[in-house]
Amino acid sequence: MKRLLCLFMCICLGLLGNAGIVKAATPRVMVSDYSVDGEEVIAGKDFTLTITLKNTATKAVKNVKLSITTENGELLPAKGAGTAYVEQIDADSEEPITFKMTAANGLEEKAYKLSVKTEYESSGGWEYTVDDTIFIPVSLGQRLSVTDVFLPEAYVELGDTVEVSAVVNNLGEGMLYNVSAKIQGDNLQELENYVGNIESGKSGTVDALTKAIVVTEGNHAKNKIIISYEDKEGNVFEQERVIEVNVAEPVYENLEKVKDKKDNSDLIKGTLKILLIIVVVAGVIWFFDKRRKRKQQMLDDFIN
């Protein structure tokens, strides 16, 4: 009887031990979501990372410790050691945990793996450890400047062709994709000029020919050159520069010029008439003189 009792107790203890192992190996808290502030993480810049933990168990968990690390320190806590503590997460509840982070300088433009380790206790005192992995995309900073905006003349006439040129400088670390320039405004014909991709530290040139189509009234005309570009994800960004162009009605000769022109024209016509008369008179004289000489020659021949 004692042997049977001992055997029964051993079996019970074994079952309890196995049950404890199974229970301890079953994760109940996991990463359900994560987000970063803003649209993207930029290399060399700070950002805020929010990780949401969810307790999927039917009972609360306590003493929750969350630790985050990267393989080579690509993403680092801006403050602290990259750990956070939560006293309790209720059953079937979520808990957001926020970290102030920094993306290291010199990173490539890709997603980096962030390891998330969650340690916690059940209400019965069982300890659990869960490992999760999330991926944080890192982008290179994009920044451009528009310089050397050139207009051949600040004053043009209606219908004139207007040449607009500018230099687009890539001051960021990432490539500027599909750079283009659009001329737009109140009195210039809308036109788009494709520049292309511009590498970091390089420049592209805008060289566009548009036309003056509306006369400027007062100082209310607004024209601009709009530089647009894309990042590697295809997101479009724009930067504008104002260009000043005054368009006026075509300027014809004023009255004084018209008068001078008319006087000059009359003088030329008078001169031409005099020359014509002189030519005619000279021709007549030459004709009669030749005729006289011919008659004299005939008379001389007859006498001889």
DSSP annotation string for 182-194: EEEESSB--EEEE
Sequence-distant (6+) residues with CB within 8 A of 59 are 91, 122, 123
213: phi then psi, degrees, rounded to nearest 5: -120, -15
**Domains of the chain, residue spans:** 17-139, 144-248
Give the type of residue at 29: V
Q: Which of 11, 118, 142 is nearest to 55 (CA)?
A: 118
Q: Within its chain, how far is the Cα of 57 from the centroid?
A: 48
Q: How far is CA 230 from the centre of its chain?
A: 5
Q: Name the more confident of 263 and 234.
A: 234
pTM: 0.56
Written as six digits, the tokens of 113 are: 């793996």
Mean pLDDT in residue range 75-99: 92
Residues in the chain: 304
Of 8-12, 40-44, 188-192, 228-232, where does mean pLDDT reach its minimum? 8-12
pLDDT band at 251; cut points 50, 70, 90: low
For residue 75, what pLDDT band results from cuts at 50, 70 and 90?
Answer: very high
Closest CA to 248 of 152, 163, 154: 154
Closest-CA residue to 70 (of 133, 113, 109, 118): 113
Higher-pLDDT residue of 121 and 273 is 121
201-229 per-position pLDDT tens digit: 899 999 888 888 888 876 666 888 999 99
Please state which of the four CATH numbers 1.10.3720.10, 3.20.20.105, 2.60.40.10, 3.20.20.140 is assigned to the domain occupying 17-139. Answer: 2.60.40.10
231 — pLDDT class (breaks 50, 70, 90): confident
In sign, the C-alpha dihedral spanning 243, 181, 147, 207 is negative
Supply the pLDDT for residue 220. Answer: 61
Question: How far from 222 is each of 127, 157, 182, 233, 238, CA to CA, in Å?
Answer: 69, 16, 14, 33, 18
Question: Beta 29-36 vs 93-103: how paired, if at all?
Answer: unpaired
Query: Does residue 25 register a pLDDT over 60?
Result: no
Of 36-45, 127-136, 229-238, 281-290, the one with minimum mean pLDDT is 281-290
Find the helix or strand (DSSP H, E) in which 3 lies.
helix 2-25
Q: What is the pLDDT of residue 263?
A: 55
Report the relative pairing of strands 155-157 and 246-248 from DSSP bridges.
parallel
* Mean pLDDT on 188-202: 90
pLDDT at 32 over 80: yes
Side-chain half-sphere exposure of 259, counting CA atoms within 13 A: 3
17-139 and 144-248 in the same fold: yes
Thinking of the domain 144-248, which architecture would CATH place it in? Sandwich (2.60)
Which one, of 247, 151, 159, lies nearest residue 207 by Cα?
151
Question: What pLDDT, in 10s, does the model give residues 273-293?
Answer: 888 888 777 777 877 777 777
3-state secondary structure of 127: strand
Helix, strand, coil percent values for the chain (each to nearest 5): 25, 45, 30
In this prediction, residue 17 has a pLDDT band, given cuts at 50, 70 and 90, of very low
